[in-house]
Amino acid sequence: MKELRRIKFTGKNLNDVFALPCVDKIVKIINRPQLVINPSILLKTSSNVANIGDELVEYEDEQWKIIKNS
């Protein structure tokens, strides 16, 4: 699969990431925003939640993947 775009979730780009088709909602846990990703367009990962520092990757087949910050 070809990667179309990669977006790092900084926590400060909430307006930008909320507009992505993969984001269902943004929640705030202990004063830190998290992205809840639509599981129907998410490639297999351990979670459908992206935290600050994680990257969202869109592929040409309209699937998304969360790459966790190590």
Segment 11-51, tens digit of pLDDT: 999 999 999 999 999 999 999 999 999 999 999 877 899 99
Whether this prediction's pTM lies above 0.85 is answered by: yes
Give me 36's structure tokens. Answer: 């809840």
Q: What is the pLDDT of residue 66?
A: 95
| Under 8 Å between Cβ of 49 and 36 | yes
Measure the CA–CA gap between 1 and 19, rounded to whole angstroms: 23
Q: What is the pLDDT of residue 44?
A: 81
Question: Span 59-69, mean pLDDT?
Answer: 94
Q: What is the pLDDT of residue 8?
A: 96
The number of residues making up the chain comes to 70
Phi, psi of 15, rounded to the nearest 5 degrees: -65, -40
Q: What is the pLDDT of residue 1?
A: 84
